[in-house]
Each structure stands twice: as C-alpha cells, then as structure tokens.
C-alpha cells in the first residue's frame, strides 16, 4: 500500500525571546530612550501622584529606594504603563493620565505646628486632615505656631512647587498687629529694603489699617517665605508683633465664611482656574458632574476631627520602660487607697447575691 506523499517540514520559526526587565535610564540617555519608547519621566509621575515636589522625588530616587522592574532607578528614568515601579517593595500606581488634583483651605489657629512629625508631640495641622486615596497632602508654605490664617493643602506636587518656589515670586499677604506705630519714613524704608541676619528683605507694599490705643494694624505683602520674615522686619524697628494672620496666598484669599479651625474644599472649576494660573496642564478628562446635594456637601465648611492622639517622646519612653524604671507616682491627698477589708466586703456581697439567685432558680423549678 502506497503511503501518502508528505510535504517537507517547513523551517520552524525561532521562538521569540522573553522580554528582559528594562534597565533604568540615566539622565544622559533619557532623551534617547524617550525617542524609542513612549513613556514619561519617573520623577514627574511621582510628583503628579502627590508624593512630593519634583525636586523631592529626585532626591528620593537618588536614595535608591525606587526600583523599576527590580532594578534600582536612576534620576531621569523613563517608565510606561507596563513597568512595575516599587517604593521599598510597595508597588506604586502612577497616574500616566493626569487627574484633577484636590485643594483644601484651612484657617489655621495659633498653637498648631505645620509639620508631619513633631518630636515634642504637639498638635499639628496634619492630624486633622481628611484621608486621601491618591498621594498625600502637601502643605503649601508654612506658618509658625503663633501665626494664624490661610493654609493651603494639595496632593499635586507641581502645584505646590509653583506656589513655594522663589523664582515664581508668589505674593503672600498678611494682617499684622504691632505694639506701636510706624513713621512714614520707616514704612518707606521697609518697602525699599533693610538688612537682616540672612540678607536684605523688604515688603512689596505696606498700608496702615487702623487700630485702637497702642496697637496698630498693617496690611503687608511679601514675595518670599523666609523663616519669621514678617516678624523680623518689624522687630528691626523694635516693634513687636502681637498678632500675625495670613489672609491671601497668590490668587487664593481667605474666605470670610472660613472661621478659625475650619476647612473648605475648593470646587473643580476653582482648581482648574488655579492650574491655568500656574501654567500647569489641565487634565483632559471631563469634570465629574455632581448633583446639587453632592456639590453642596463637597464644598461645605467643616470642622476637622483629630484622627490620632500624639504622644511626646517622654510619654513614649515612659510607656516602653520597665516598672522599676518608671518614675514613682505621688499619691494625692484626696485619693483613697484600697485595703484588704474592701476586698473581703466585696466578696461577701457577691456571695449573698449568688445565694439569692440560686434560691430563685429553685423556686422556678
């Protein structure tokens, strides 16, 4: 029996090699890599995700804590949607399409610190911030513990960088109450500039706004945020500042309905206007349509609640110390110390109650 004719086997095509993890791209080769691969700079995506400013993200990448597909990332690396980016073994979900950031206004009262970690365990503004799903809250500018007024929070590192970077010279307006009064010559000199310990400084403008008795109010505008700059400018003329409140930061003014200790979330259109003012790209996604009830709830002034209780380092050390190492607690004069007779009396009372309950149960049977 004749066998059917068999055609010769076609040459098998070579198996495609498995894609190897992409190596980190250095700053010198970033332009060449971006030309051959559609991606975005890593530090830019981290800033968009709200982890900090671009400069902070470059410092974070230099620390070696960021990896791309298992390889340590370098400054200027380019990533796309298929790369796995980790921070200390935690996978990061980066926004390759920019989303509309969140902006929160807070009327800070005196006595709160603008820091995320205070060694003395004092109250901070970050203890009251609502939880956020993407990124983290970034404080735009700082106010010392004795200064109140407008404080802005956002999860956009680029927007925060534009507000705070010295080259953009964003105006900050303060209402200042001093003990005394400036002369016209002193007001003119403050606008021209005087020498401080860390260099010359000046007000962009200064106007008297009344006052009673020895206390006088002034409205001042500066374009930089050096430490205690407003107070030091007045103290140069031996005029101590008794009250300092920030009423405006750039185009954002302190709303009259935002009372001390309350917060307010900006509307979507107001956030878009801020991005356009800063020259930042506006997300292409359409704005989320909110019902009147949702819109009213989203933009309602609310009083923040403390999410956690902070303890000082002294309390933490005492809690972790052994009973022998803890300081002895002095008994108060009105405090009654439990004695052995109290325990005997309590045990007799419990015995009587148990006996009565047993008799009742026998009757019910």
Determine if the pTM surpasses 0.75.
no
Q: Is 274 helix (H, G, I), strand (E, B) or coil?
A: helix
Strands 103-108 vs 40-41: parallel, antiparallel or unpaired: unpaired
Residue 307: what pLDDT? 65
Is position 144 annotated as part of the catalytic site? Answer: yes
Residue 11 tokens, joined: 């040459």
Q: Band of the pLDDT at 265, cuts 50, 70, 90?
A: very high
- Asked if 148 contacts 244 with a C-beta cutoff of 8 angstroms, the reply is yes
- What's the whole-number mean pLDDT along residues 142-155? 94
Q: Out of 144, 198, 296, 342, which one is annotated catalytic?
A: 144
Of residues 36 and 132, the one with the higher pLDDT is 132
Q: Is 240 helix (H, G, I), strand (E, B) or coil?
A: coil
Residue 151: what pLDDT? 96
Give the whole-angstrom CA distance, residue 148 versus residue 110.
5
Dump the DSSP string for 121-161: ---BGGGSPPP-SSS--EEES---TT-EEEEEEES-HHHHH
Q: Band of the pLDDT at 40, cuts 50, 70, 90?
A: confident
Give the whole-angstrom CA distance, residue 43 versus residue 55.
8
Q: Which of 224, 178, 167 is nearest to 201 (CA)?
A: 224
């Amino acid at each position: 029996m004749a066998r059917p004719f068999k055609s010769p086997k076609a040459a098998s095509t070579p198996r495609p090699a498995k894609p190897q993890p992409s190596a980190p791209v250095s700053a010198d080769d970033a332009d060449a890599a971006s030309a051959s691969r559609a991606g975005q700079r890593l530090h830019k995506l981290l800033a968009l995700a709200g982890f900090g400013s671009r400069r902070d993200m470059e410092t974070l990448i230099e620390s070696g804590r960021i990896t791309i597909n298992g390889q340590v990332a370098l400054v200027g690396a380019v990533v796309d949607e298929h790369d796995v980016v980790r921070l200390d073994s935690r996978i990061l979900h980066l926004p390759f399409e920019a989303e509309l950031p969140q902006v929160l206004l807070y009327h800070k009262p005196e006595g709160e610190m603008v820091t995320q970690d205070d060694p003395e365990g004092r109250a901070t503004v970050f203890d009251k911030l609502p939880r956020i799903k993407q990124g983290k809250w970034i404080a735009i500018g700082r106010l010392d513990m004795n200064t109140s007024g407008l404080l802005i929070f956002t999860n956009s590192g680029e927007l925060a960088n534009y507000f705070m970077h010295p080259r953009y010279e964003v105006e900050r307006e303060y209402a200042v109450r001093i003990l005394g009064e400036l002369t016209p010559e002193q007001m003119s000199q403050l606008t021209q500039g005087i020498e401080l310990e860390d260099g010359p400084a000046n007000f962009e403008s200064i106007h008297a706004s009344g006052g009673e008795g020895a206390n006088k109010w002034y409205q001042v505008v500066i374009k930089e945020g050096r430490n205690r700059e407003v107070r030091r400018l007045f103290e140069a003329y031996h005029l101590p500042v008794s009250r300092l409140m920030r009423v405006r930061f750039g185009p954002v003014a302190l709303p009259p309905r935002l009372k001390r200790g309350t917060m307010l979330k900006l509307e979507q259109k107001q956030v878009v206007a801020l991005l356009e003012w800063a020259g930042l790209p506006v997300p292409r996604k359409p704005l989320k349509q909110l019902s009147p009830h949702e819109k009213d709830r989203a933009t309602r002034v609310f009083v923040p609640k403390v999410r956690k209780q902070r303890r000082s380092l002294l309390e933490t050390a005492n809690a972790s110390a052994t009973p022998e190492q803890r300081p002895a607690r002095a008994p108060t004069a009105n405090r009654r110390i439990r004695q052995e007779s109290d325990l005997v009396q309590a045990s007799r009372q419990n015995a009587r109650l148990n006996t009565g309950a047993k008799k009742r149960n026998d009757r019910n049977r």
